[in-house]
Structure 1
Amino acid sequence: MIVIGDDTAKIEELQKRLASEFEMKDLGCLKYFLRVEVTRSKHGLFLSQRKYVMYPLVDTGMLDCKPADTPIVENHNLGVYVDKVPTNQERYQRLVGRFIYLSLTRPDIAYVVSVASQFMHSPNDDHMAAAMRILSYLKFAPGRGLLFKKNGHLDLEGYTNADYAGNITYRHSTAVTWRSKKQNVVSWSSAKSEYRGITQGSAFEITNNPVQHDRTKHVEVDQHFIKEKLEHKLISILFVPSSEQLADMLTHVVSKCRFEDSLDKLGIIDIYAPT
C-alpha cells in the first residue's frame, strides 16, 4: 500500500489504525513498488522500470543485441495480411504483454506497443520483427523513465491528438486521451477523431468557429459537451503547432529528430546514463 499526503500527523494516524487491524510494517519512503523504481531528488520524482526491462531482454536472448535509437521504423506498414508467415503466438503475446506493463513509465514506446497489441491473435513474422525492434530500443536506454518535475504550481496541462485513418487494415484512427488507443469506429475526418478521442476540444478551429458547426454535425454531441465546459471556464483550449505537439509521437511515427525532441519535453530521461 502506498500512502500519499502532506499531513504527517494524519498519515501516522492512518498507519496506527491500519496496524491495529492488520499485521503490517512501515517500509519508509517509497522506493520500489510493483516493479516500478522511485527516485527522489531536488528536481522532482523519477519513475522507471530499469530492472524490469532486463526480463524480456534475457528471456529472448536479446541482452547482447545491437541497440536501436527509435522503437519503430518509419513507414512500417504493419497490418493483417493473409500471405504472411505466422509466428509463435504465445511467445508474441507474452512479449507484448510485458511491453504494455513497461509503457507505464515509458510513454516513448506507447505508440508502437499499441500497434503491436493489435495483432495478438494472429501475429506474423513482421509483427515479431517489430517486437524485436522494441527490445533493441529498450536495450539502447534501459534506464529511461518519467521525471515529474517540481514546478511550484498544480496547474494541469494536457495535449491531445489523433491521426486520421492511420490503421491500414481497418482505417481506424488512433487518439490520445489518458493513453494511446485505436478507436473502434471509422471517423470521417481528423476533427471527428480528435473529438472522439478526448472530448476536450482538440479540434481548435471548429470549437472556436461557430460557422463551421453545421458542416460537422457528426461530432455535435462531443462538440457541445466541449463548448459547455469552455463556457463554464472549466477548460481552456490553445492551438499547438505541429513542432510543439507532444502527443504526435503517441499516435503515429515521427522523425528521429522530432522523437528525441519530444522525449525531453515529456520528461522522459535516463538518470542512469553516463554524463
Structure 2
Amino acid sequence: MSLPNGKKPVGCEWVFTIKHNADGMIERYKARLVAKGFTQTYGIDYQETFAPVAKMNSIRAILSCVANLGWPLQQLDVKNAFFHGDLEEEVYMDVPPGFSSQSTVGKVCRLKKALYGLKQSLRAWFGRFLKAMLGFGYQQNNVDHTLFVKRNVHKVTVLIVYVHDIVVTGNDEEEVTHLKMQLANEFEIKELGPLRYFLGIEVARSDKGIFISQRKYILDLLEETGMLGCKPADSPIETNHHLCSGIGEPVEKERYQRLVGRLIYLSHTRPNIAYAVGIVSQFMHDPRATHLDAVYRILRYLKSAPGKGILFSNHGHLRLEAFTNADCAGSIDDRRSTSGYCAFVGGNLVTWHGKKQAVVSRSSAEAEYRAVAHGTYELIWLQSLLSNIGLDWSGPMTLYCDNKAAISIAHNPIQHDRTKHIESDRHFIKEKLNKSVTCMPFVKSEDQLADVFTKDLSSKVFHPICCKLGMRNIFAPI
C-alpha cells in the first residue's frame, strides 16, 4: 500500500535476551519487539532524537550529600519505559513476524506509542516522564536536566533518572511515599528497595558510608580478555612511558577501541586509572602494539584489586574544594600540556578530569592557569547543582594550586605580557576571586592530589594519593 508524504514502513524483529541480577544469576528471559530504526529517514518519520541522561558527576555528588546528611537512598525501575512515550510523528511499521496472514497482506501498522529501536524513542519517553514530574509539582534542575527536586520548607525530595532507572532520596519520607504512588499510577513501576546496583555500578552502604565499585564489571572484563590469571601490576601505567603515535606494529583497531571503551566506562568509579585511560584513548585512530601493551598494563593493575572503589563518608559538612594541576608539554607528539582537576563535595571525591589542552602552552604558568580555569568552572557547576537542591554553601569554594606563578597571575591584574594568551580565563578567575566565590591557597607539590590525573607517578607516590582520594577496597582481607 502507498503511504502519505513518501513515508516508508519501518522494519521490525523479535529480540530475545536474558536479564541477570547483580550477582550474575539469571532473573528472567525476555522477548521484545524491536523496530529497525536504522531504516528511518530524518525529516520524514523522525525529527530530533536528543534526550538528556543523568551525568555520573551528578550521581556521585548526590551520593556524597546523602552520605553526609544520612538520607535514605532508594531505587525504582520503570518497566517497558519506551512504550510510555507518545510519538509526535507519523511512523508506520511492517506487520511483526509471526502475525502474517491473508488478512494482513499489503497492510502496515501505524505506531502511536514509541517502540524500542526507534530513533526518537528515548526523547519521547523522557518527554512523557518530564510532563509527569512537572505535574507532580517537581522542578527540573537547570544544571542537570534529569534531576528533579521538590522542596517543602526545610524538607527536600530529589529524583534522578537515567533512561528507566530512577534513584530517589531526601529527608521527606511522606513525599517519597507519595511520589512512589504517583509514579505507580502513571507508569508501571518496580520498587527495588535500597540502592544496590545502578548502571553497572555496585553500591554498598554501612555505618561507615556509601561505597561504589565495579568489581563484577572488572572480573567479567578480565575473563573476556583471558587475563584472570595474569600477574598483577602495582600501577596502571609505566613511569616515563613515552607513548606516541606511529611507532610499533599495527594491531586490530576494533578490538583496541572496544577495550579502551570499556576502560573509559570503568573510570567512573576508578579515578586511579583516569590518566592511563586518557593516554591510551589518544591512539584510537591508529593503535600500535606498544599502545595495546599499555592497555594490558591497565588490566593487570585492575587484577591487583578488582574490588577497589570510592567511599563516600560522613564528614559533617558540604564544603566544595578542588585541586588543579597541569603537566606542561607532556605530549611527545604535539607538546601540548595535560590539565587535571578533582573536586570534592563534603570531603568526598565526586568529579575528576584529565585531558590534553586544546592549544600549546608557552609556559608552565600558562598551562597551570588553564587548569585553574577548568577547576573553577567545575566548582561553580557543583555549587549550582547543590543550590538547586537547596543545599547552599555560603563560604568561598577552595581551589588548591601548587604553582605560585599561576596564583600570582590570578591575584595581580597587571601582568599583561604573561596573560595575553589566556586573557578570558584571567578575567573569569579574577572576577570569582574578587566576589569571594573562590579562593586559591597554595598547596605543596607532595600534597597535590590532581597529580594522579596528569602524570605517570611511581607506585610510591601513586598509592598514597589514591588513599587520600577516598579509594578503598572493602573486599580486601583485614
TM range (shorter): over 0.9
Structure 1: gaps (5+ residues):
none
Q: TM-score, normalised by structure 2?
A: 0.56
Question: What CA distance in whole angstroms lies between the structure 2 residues aligned with 1:98 and 1:223?
Answer: 37
Superposed, which structure 2 residues align to 1:27-42 within 5 Å?
27-42=192-207
| Letter aligned with residue 190 of structure 1 | S
Q: TM-score, normalised by structure 1?
A: 0.95
Give secondary structure in 2 for the equivalent of 1:228: helix
Give secondary structure in 1 for the equivalent of 2:189: coil
Give secondary structure in 2 for the equivalent of 1:46: strand
Where is the helix percentage greater, Structure 1 or Structure 2? 1
User: What's 1:119 paired with?
Assistant: 283
Question: What CA distance in whole angstroms lies between the structure 2 residues aligned with 1:214 and 1:77?
Answer: 33
2:443 pairs with one of 240, 257, 262: 240
Moved over 6 A (4+): none
Contact 2:253 2:284 in 1 (8 A): yes
User: What's 1:137 paired with?
Assistant: 301
Structure 1 stretch 151-160 or stretch 181-190: which is displaced more? 181-190
| Letter aligned with residue 162 of structure 1 | A
User: What's 1:108 paired with?
Assistant: 272
User: What's 1:170 paired with?
Assistant: 334
User: What's 2:236 paired with?
Assistant: 71
Superposed, which structure 2 residues align to 1:1-275 within 5 Å?
1-81=166-246, 83-177=247-341, 178-199=352-373, 200=376, 202=401, 203-275=406-478
Q: How many Å apart are 1:45 and its aligned residue?
A: 1.1
| Letter aligned with residue 195 of structure 2 | L
| Letter aligned with residue 337 of structure 2 | S
| Letter aligned with residue 180 of structure 1 | G
Identity between Structure 1 and Structure 2 (%) = 54
Contact 1:206 1:213 in 2 (8 A): no
Q: How many Å apart are 1:20 and its aligned residue?
A: 0.9
Structure 2: gaps (5+ residues):
1-165, 342-351, 377-398
Give secondary structure in 2 for the equivalent of 1:26: strand
| Letter aligned with residue 123 of structure 1 | P
Give secondary structure in 1 for the equivalent of 2:322: coil
Please give the per-residue CA displacement for 1:36-74, whole angstroms capped at 9, x wherever unaligned.
011112221111000000122111110100001111111
| Letter aligned with residue 29 of structure 1 | P
Question: What CA distance in whole angstroms lies between the structure 1 residues aligned with 2:426 and 2:175?
Answer: 43
* Aligned alpha-carbon RMSD (Å): 1.4
Q: How many Å apart are 1:213 and its aligned residue?
A: 4.5
Give secondary structure in 1 for the equivalent of 2:174: helix
Question: What CA distance in whole angstroms lies between the structure 2 residues aligned with 1:48 and 1:61?
Answer: 21
Question: What CA distance in whole angstroms lies between the structure 1 residues aligned with 2:306 and 2:171?
Answer: 32
